[in-house]
Amino acid sequence: MNPFRAALITTSVLLASVATAAPPDTVAPLAPAAIVIQNATILTVSHGTIEHGAILIQNGKIAEIGQSVHAPSGAQVIDAAGEFVMPGIVDCHSHIAVDGSVNEGSVSVSSIVNIAEVLNPDDIDIYRDLAGGVTTANILHGSANSIGGQTVVIKLRWGQPAAKLPFEGALPGIKFALGENPKRSNFSRPGQPKRYPATRMGVEETIRGAFTEARDYQRSWADYNKRVSGGDKSAIPPRRDLRLEPLVEVLEGKRYVHAHCYREDEILMLLRVAKEFGFKVRTLQHVLEGYKVADEIAASGAGASTFSDWWSYKVEAFEAIPYNAAIMARRGVIVSINSDDAEEATHLNQEAAKSIKYGGMTHDDALKMVTLNPAMQLGIDQRVGSIDTGKDADLVIYNHDPLSAYAVVQKTIIDGRVYFDRARDIAGRADLEKEKKSLLEKEKKAAEKKPDATVEIGKKSNKPGTAKTDASKPDATKPPDKTPAEPPKPPQNDLATGGVL
Amino acid sequence: MNAAARIVRVALIVSALCAIPHIVGAQSAPPPAVYALTHAKIFTLVGPAIEDGTLIIRDGKIAAVGTGIDVPSGAQVIDAKGLQIYPGLFDSITQMGLREIGAVSSTVDETETGDFNPDVVAATAILPSSEHITVTRAAGITEVLAVPASGGFDSSGGSGLLGGQASAIHMSGWTINEMLIKKSAAMVIDWPTIETRTFDFSTFSIKEKPYTEAKQEYDKHVDELADWLARARHYAQALGHAGPADYDADVRLAALVPVVRGQLPVLVFADEARDIRHAVEFCDQQKLKMILAGGLEAYKVKDLLRSKNIPVILRPVLTLPNQQDDPYDRVLSQPAELAAAGVKFAFASFDNSFARRLGQNAANAVAYGLPYEEALKAVTVYPAQIFGLADQFGTLEPGKLANLIVTNGDPLELTTDVRYLFIRGQLTSTDNKQRRLYEKYLNRPVN
For the ranges B18-27, B206-215, B231-240, B286-295, the lowest mean pLDDT is seen at B18-27
Question: What is the Cα–Cα distance from A413 to A396, expressed in whole angstroms?
Answer: 6
Q: Is the C-alpha dihedral spanning B18, B24, B26, B32 positive or negative?
A: positive
**Can you name the residues that pair with B372 across neighbouring β-strands?**
none
Same domain, A73 and A195: no
| Residue to test with chain B: of A1, A333, A362, A501, most B Cβ within 10 A | A1
Full-model pTM: 0.90
pLDDT for A495 equals 57
Same domain, A205 and A266: yes
8 Å CB contact between A487 and A464: no
Same domain, A196 and A340: yes
Q: Which of A331, A350, A383 is the last residue of a domain?
A: A383
Same domain, A317 and A236: yes
Q: Which long-range contacts (CB under 8 A, 24 or more apart) does A275-279 make?
A: A275/A300, A276/A208, A277/A208, A277/A211, A277/A215, A277/A251, A278/A251, A279/A211, A279/A250, A279/A251, A279/A253
Nearest residue in chain A measured CA to CA from B148: A3
End-to-end CA distance of chain A: 24
Same domain, A389 and A366: no
Residue B11 scores a pLDDT above 60? no
Q: What CATH number corresponds to the domain at position A221?
A: 3.20.20.140
User: Does some domain include residue A308?
Assistant: yes
- Number of H helices and E strands in chain B, helices first, is 13, 18
User: Does some domain include residue A444?
Assistant: no
- How many CB atoms sit inside 10 A of residue A427's CB? 11
Same domain, A273 and A213: yes
Residue B25 scores a pLDDT above 90? no
**B101, A124: Cβ pair inside 8 Å?**
no
User: Does some domain include residue A67?
Assistant: yes
- How many CB atoms sit inside 10 A of residue A453's CB? 13
**B328, A425: Cβ pair inside 8 Å?**
yes
pLDDT for A492 equals 56
Question: What is the Cα–Cα distance from B205 to A234, expressed in whole angstroms?
Answer: 51
C-alpha dihedral (B362, B367, B373, B375), degrees to nearest 10: -20
8 Å CB contact between B147 and B94: yes
Distance from the Cα of A466 to chain B's closest Cα (Å) equals 17
Residue range(s) defining the domain that contains residue A397 = 28-87+385-427
| Residue to test with chain B: of A264, A312, A429, most B Cβ within 10 A | A312
Q: Which long-range contacts (CB under 8 A, 24 or more apart) does B181-186 make?
A: B181/B143, B181/B389, B181/B392, B182/B387, B182/B388, B182/B389, B183/B121, B183/B123, B184/B121, B184/B258, B184/B264, B185/B145, B185/B265, B185/B387, B185/B388, B185/B389, B186/B145, B186/B147, B186/B264, B186/B265, B186/B266, B186/B267, B186/B291, B186/B387
Q: Which amino acid is at A285?
A: Q
**B208, A404: Cβ pair inside 8 Å?**
no
Average pLDDT over residues B253-274: 97
What percentage of residues in chain B have a pLDDT greater than 70? 89
pLDDT for B248 equals 87
Same domain, A99 and A39: no
8 Å CB contact between B33 and B58: yes
Residue B201 scores a pLDDT above 70? no
Which among A50, A148, A54, A160 is positioned nearest to A101, based on CA atoms? A148
Burial of B205 (C-beta count, 10 Å sphere; 0-12/13-18/19+):
exposed
Same domain, A336 and A401: no
Q: What is the count of structural domains for chain A?
A: 2
Query: Could you give the C-alpha distances from A480 to A7, A152, A473, A483, B376, in angstroms and in order?
Result: 26, 42, 11, 8, 38
- Cα-flanking dihedrals φ and ψ of residue A369, to 5°? -65, -15
Domains delineated in chain B: 3-87+429-442 (2.30.40.10), 89-392 (3.20.20.140)
pLDDT for A481 equals 37
**B197, A488: Cβ pair inside 8 Å?**
yes
pLDDT for A26 equals 56
Per residue of chain A (501 residues), give pLDDT as tens. Answer: 333 333 333 333 332 333 344 444 556 778 788 999 999 999 999 999 999 999 999 999 999 999 999 999 999 999 999 999 999 999 999 999 999 899 998 999 999 999 999 999 999 999 999 999 999 999 999 999 999 999 999 999 999 999 999 999 999 999 999 999 999 888 766 677 789 999 999 999 999 999 999 999 999 999 999 999 999 999 999 999 999 999 999 999 999 999 999 999 999 999 999 999 999 999 999 999 999 999 999 999 999 999 999 999 999 999 999 999 999 999 999 999 999 999 999 999 999 999 999 999 999 999 999 999 999 999 999 999 999 999 999 999 999 999 999 999 999 999 999 999 999 999 999 999 999 999 999 999 998 886 554 444 433 333 333 332 233 333 333 333 333 344 445 455 665 544 444
8 Å CB contact between B259 and B288: yes
- B335 interfacial to chain A (CB closer than 8 Å): no
CB contacts of A500 in chain B (<8 Å) are: 201, 204
Give CA angle at B8 (B3, B11), nearest 5°: 125
- ipTM associated with this complex: 0.92
Which among B420, B435, B315 is positioned nearest to B23, based on CA atoms? B420
Distance from the Cα of A217 to chain B's closest Cα (Å) equals 35
Identity of the residue in A11, A13, A311 whose CB atom sits nearest the CB atom of B324: A13
Same domain, A83 and A99: no
Q: What CATH number corresponds to the domain at position A82?
A: 2.30.40.10
Q: Which of A427, A461, A494 is the last residue of a domain?
A: A427
pLDDT for B357 equals 98
pLDDT for A494 equals 66
- How many CB atoms sit inside 10 A of residue A273's CB? 18
Question: What is the Cα–Cα distance from B365 to B335, expressed in whole angstroms?
Answer: 6
For the ranges A309-318, B3-12, B156-165, the lowest mean pLDDT is seen at B3-12
**A321, B329: Cβ pair inside 8 Å?**
no
The count of CB pairs under 8 A between chains A and B is: 244
| Residue to test with chain A: of B96, B322, B328, most A Cβ within 10 A | B328
Which among B445, B391, B143 is positioned nearest to A294, based on CA atoms? B445
User: Does some domain include residue A213?
Assistant: yes
8 Å CB contact between A405 and B414: yes
Query: Could you give the C-alpha distances from B66 to B2, B34, B48, B410, B423, in angstroms and in order?
Result: 35, 16, 11, 20, 20
User: Does some domain include residue A8?
Assistant: no
Distance of CA A452 to the CA centre of its chain: 45
8 Å CB contact between A370 and A136: no
Same domain, A60 and A102: no
**A485, B328: Cβ pair inside 8 Å?**
no
Identity of the residue in B102, B197, B438 whose CB atom sits nearest the CB atom of A323: B438
Put simply, the chain B residues between 171 and 190 with a CB less than 8 A from any chain A CB are: 190
User: Does some domain include residue A450?
Assistant: no
Residue A24 DSSP one-character state: G
Query: Could you give the C-alpha distances from B356 to A284, A456, B140, B185, in angstroms and in order?
Result: 26, 42, 8, 22
Burial of A100 (C-beta count, 10 Å sphere; 0-12/13-18/19+):
exposed
**DSSP code per residue over B227-258:** HHHHHHHHHHHHHHHS-GGGS---HHHHHHHH
Residue B342 scores a pLDDT above 50? yes
Same domain, A258 and A169: yes
Rg over CA atoms, chain B = 23
Same domain, A208 and A137: yes
pLDDT for A294 equals 98
CB-based contacts of A107, cutoff 8 Å, min separation 6: A145
For the ranges A245-259, B4-18, B332-346, the lowest mean pLDDT is seen at B4-18
- B271 interfacial to chain A (CB closer than 8 Å): yes
